[in-house]
Structure 1
Amino acid sequence: MSVAIITGASRGLGLALAAGLSAAGWRLVLDARGASALADAARSLAGEVIAVPGDITDPEHRAELHAAAASLGGADLLVNNAGALGPSPLPRVADHPLDALRDVFEVNVVGLLGLTQLVLPDLRERAGVLLNISSDAAVEGYPGWGGYGASKAAVEQLSRVLAAEEPGVRVWWADPGDLRTQMHQDAYPGEDITDRPLPETVVPAVLKLLANRPESGRVRLPELV
């Protein structure tokens, strides 16, 4: 059976992907900062699941995730879904606190790349898949989204270069669209976001990617559903 590491898997898109992959027979290694919420998420899933709570910016935690996947035979798929939004309400670029921006980049870019570097040898060996969750904020100029969007733009460029450097690995950077998640609610405090689709709606798109294995590149998940 195939093995996947999914970060940020205690809620939202990460948990929805975990449920979809679990139902499809994948063995999972799940990460999130909140130990209790992650344990609840793991208990809700069928099949073999290893929950490893911790912070993706911590090198020891990244090593624990890699070791957990190795105990299952090695990762065939890494889903870099964990992310930090930054201050809420979202500040203008002119007012964005620099310490907060560093924190966003530490999670969304540096932590992501650190885990990717650890897992890449397994993905090369298995002709595996790297799936980096991006955002339309990486390519569009939405007021208030400068810090988060800049971090996702960095993720997209890292992904683009990795795709060129790692021909034996499928590298997809995926825009899931606006979804009804806690992060999206935090971006719009006090607003009603129930008109956004649930994260589960884009899970079939990821399963389709894994089944069809198109060339590495940027994908918009709603367009594949």
Structure 2
Amino acid sequence: MSSPVIIITGASRGIGRSATFLALSKFNARVVAVARDESRLIALKLEAQAMGKADNLITVTGDVTNETTNSNAVDQALSTWGQLDAIIANAGVLEPVDTIANGSLEVFKHLFDVNFFSIIDLCQKALPHLRKTKGSIIMVSSGAALKGYRAWGAYGSSKAALNHLTNTLSVEEPDVTTIAIRPGVVDTEMQGLLRSIGKDTMEGDYQKFVDLYEAGKLIKPEQPAHVLAALAAKAPKELSGRFISWDEDILAEYRS
């Protein structure tokens, strides 16, 4: 198997962390892992070293809303390995968990900076190199893009915008495969945050997520992460522009 070079944002926890290890261990990838938490990235590097994959992992500490972070990630990939084959745009935030009427506009704007505008910035910096490799951009979206949840207006609308961006890039960049993946309700720190802060604002929708957690029905991060890593390693062109749930039949071969 060839060794693709992949940038993964939000790589220090949850789905991004699982995707990083799967890319390294199963898909023979070279990974630039981007996250804000330096201590978690150091731990990531130590685990990669224990796997014998330390030389295939570069860590970049920084906030994706800072253009320098995205430039550094792309530059590290190129200066170390001379190419860039894929991006897994996974970094995202949930807050504000508040209604449109009561939510802070500034916090809404910050969410969009993380969940949407930072991805545009990363794409702009990466596209010249992804065109050369006929690479891929794999976006982590959400079912919230399609359905209104009380107090999730900021998050859901940012993911709807991400889906449209995916579709637009498929038209504008025919040499690059761009796919948005719905990972489902995953057992991550974001779900823990939701359970801790959402009760007073989400009303009936809140209990649905609590019930899934208590029944042990949350999806394990490595399940959708496997799909992300597999698509980053080799994404089929015919899926470009699509928003697809990780567990749809069309992605069956990318789940194993």
Is the TM value for this pair above 0.5? Answer: yes
C-alpha contact (below 8 Å) 1:137/1:152 kept by paired residues: yes
Max Rg structure: 2
C-alpha contact (below 8 Å) 2:16/2:225 kept by paired residues: no
Pairing 1:1-225 to 2, within 5 Å after superposition? 1-23=3-25, 24-45=27-48, 46=51, 47=53, 48-71=56-79, 72-87=81-96, 90-189=97-196, 191=210, 193=213, 194-209=216-231, 210-211=233-234, 213=236, 214-216=238-240, 217-223=242-248, 224=251, 225=255
Q: 1-side partners of 2:46 and 2:245: how far apart?
A: 30
C-alpha contact (below 8 Å) 1:11/1:41 kept by paired residues: no
**Amino acid in the other structure paired with 1:7:** T
Q: 1-side partners of 2:103 and 2:235: how far apart?
A: 41
SS in 2 for 1:171: strand
C-alpha contact (below 8 Å) 2:87/2:137 kept by paired residues: yes
Q: 1-side partners of 2:152 and 2:114: how far apart?
A: 16
Moved more, 181-190 or 105-114: 181-190
Percent pairwise identity: 33
Q: 1-side partners of 2:33 and 2:163: how far apart?
A: 23
* Structure-2 change in CA distance of 1:103 and 1:167 (3 Å): same
Cα RMSD after superposing both structures: 1.6
C-alpha contact (below 8 Å) 1:5/1:28 kept by paired residues: yes
**Amino acid in the other structure paired with 2:89:** N
Query: Structure 1 runs of 4+ off > 4 angstroms?
Result: none
Aligned length: 223
Q: 1-side partners of 2:102 and 2:152: how far apart?
A: 12
C-alpha contact (below 8 Å) 2:90/2:140 kept by paired residues: yes
Structure 2 residue runs of 5 or longer lacking an equivalent are 198-209
SS in 2 for 1:78: strand
Give a deviation string over 1:107-161, Cα, whole Å, max 9, x none: 1111111011100111100000000110011111111211111111111111110
SS in 2 for 1:189: helix
**Amino acid in the other structure paired with 1:219:** I
Structure 1 residue runs of 5 or longer lacking an equivalent are none
Give a deviation string over 1:74-103, Cα, whole Å, max 9, x none: 21010110011113xx21222111110010
Deviation at 1:43, TM superposition (A): 2.1
**Amino acid in the other structure paired with 1:27:** R
**Amino acid in the other structure paired with 2:88:** V
* Structure-2 change in CA distance of 1:212 and 1:158 (3 Å): closer
